[in-house]
Every structure is written in C-alpha cells, then in structure tokens.
Amino acid sequence: MTSAPPPADSSAAANLVIAMDGPSGAGKSSVSRAVATQLRLRYLDTGAMYRAVTWWMLEHGIDIHDPAAVAAVADRPRLAVGTDPAGPTIHVDGHDVATPIRSRAVSAAVSPVAAVPTVRTILVAMQQEIIGTGGIVVEGRDIGTVVAPHAPVKVFLTANPTIRAQRRTEELRHDPDATVALTEAELARRDAIDSSREASPLARAADATELDTTLLRLDEVVQAVLALVKDRVGVG
C-alpha cells in the first residue's frame, strides 16, 4: 500500500529514480524527502522497512542473532509503506510503527536482521515493486548497487563519524541514555556489520556521486543533489 504526492509534470521526472545511499546520520532522510518534495516525486525509506521487520522480530521474541530463526519467519510481517515525502508512513500487520522502529532497541538489532539473505530478498522485491516505473527518491544502503542499479541518479552521502553521532543523538533526544559517545560506538558497530555482510553490503556504487555533508547545511546538500539531477537528466 502506498500513497504519493501528485506526479511530476514531465515524463522524465515521472520515470526518474534517484538512489540515495549512505550510513546512518549522513543526512539521507532529510535530503531525500526535501528533494522528493521539490521535484514532486514519491519517497521510499528502505531502512524503515528493515526496522519494521526488526521490530516485529523483537515483538515476537525471535532470536535476532540466529539467522535461521529470522529467515524462518521473514515472510510473516505484513508491511504497508506510504511514499508521500510530506508524511511517509510505515505499518506492520496494521499497526503504525513509525515511532517504535526508531528506538535504540531496534537500532541495535536491525543490522543482524538486515544481514539475513532471506530478509533482504523479500524486502528488495517489495522495494522494487514500490519503485515500479519510477518517479521516486529511494534511500538506503544498497539502492544504487542492488535495489535500483540502473537509477540514472545515484548519490552516496557521508559525514564525519562524530557529526553523524551528534545528528543521531539529536533524533534520540527523548532517550535519557542516548549520548554522543554511545551513539558513535553503536553507529561504528552497525557500519562494520552493514559493510561486511554477504548479502547487499553497504557500498558506494561505482557510478554514484559522493557528497560529504559534514560541513554543509541541509539546504546546501539538497541544492547539490538537485543540481546533479538537472545535470544528469535535465529535471529540476
């Protein structure tokens, strides 16, 4: 199930796929949503889908460190994803999980779950179905390499680890246990797992444009991406 803003005016935009990859805290979500809004495209947060499945695993007492146990039930969660950049939604079995999937518990568990090949096969198929013929900005860790390898615009966002941790900690400001040092350690652990997993590792596509967001404001990153889209496909 998806919802979307009005389609872009031009046929080029209507068929456009922008792949936005990078680690947590690099700014993928904010940049992707802003770009999608400006170009009147849909928006898909693939990370939220892995978080949703992870939340379901934790709720059902599945041992997330047992790949066989995770794979055995990977097809049971029923996901519904909304693709309106102004208000993206994520439901599991009819439950709105937009808030609980952002908890530290889910953040700590998502990498082992996402590393299970069966989980990735199921979710990549769903993501490709949602992408369809295009008209969408898709963010994640393997969009340009696996989910949408033929996307005409690919961006890989990076940032200094401490800056990434500060941004992530700000998102967790209601969690009294969240500190920049702890968050930086957790992000480093996730990076290591995500980059070394056998199935669809976090990686920069060979034809992706890398943008370091450490010293850039959000609007500056958005303008850089929009300029890239204009240069690559003449949209914007």
Give the per-residue pLDDT at 190: 80
Cα within 13 Å of Cα(73), Cβ side? 17
11 pLDDT band, cuts 50/70/90, is low
Banded pLDDT at 195 (limits 50, 70, 90): confident
Express each pLDDT in 74-107 by its tens digit: 999 999 999 999 999 999 999 999 999 999 899 8
The rounded distance, in Å, linking the Cα atoms of 21 and 26 is 9
**Residue 51 corresponds to which tokens in the numbers above?**
């978080």
Average pLDDT over residues 64-74: 98
What was the pLDDT predicted at 43?
A: 98
Q: Looking at 10-45, list the stretches that DSSP marks H as alpha helix, in order from N- to C-terminal side.
A: 11-14, 28-39
4: confidence class by pLDDT, cuts 50, 70, 90: very low
User: What domains, with CATH codes, occur in the chain?
Assistant: 11-225 (3.40.50.300)
Q: Distance (Å, rounded) from C-alpha 93 to C-alpha 86?
A: 23
Q: Average pLDDT, stretch 8-36? A: 87
Given a cut of 50, is residue 2 above it in pLDDT?
no
* Percent of the chain whose predicted confidence (pLDDT) is above 90: 70
Place of tokens 């199935």: 199
Q: Please state, in angstroms and rounded to a whole number, the distance separating the CA atoms of residues 103 and 95.
A: 16
Average pLDDT value for residue range 38-56: 97
| 190, amino acid identity | R
Q: For 97-151, how does the pLDDT look when each residue is reduced to its tens digit (9 = 90+)?
A: 999 999 989 988 999 999 999 999 999 999 999 999 999 999 999 999 999 999 9
The sign of the torsion formed by the CA atoms of 231, 160, 107, 147 equals positive
Q: What is the spatial distance between Cα 149 and Cα 13, in angstroms, rounded to a whole number?
A: 18
Write out the two tokens for 78.
């029923």
* Helix, strand, coil percentages in the chain from 3-state DSSP, rounded to 5: 50, 15, 35
The residue assigned the tokens 């439950």 is 95
Residue bearing the bigger pLDDT, 127 or 197: 127
- Compute the mean pLDDT over every residue in the chain, rounded to the nearest whole number: 91
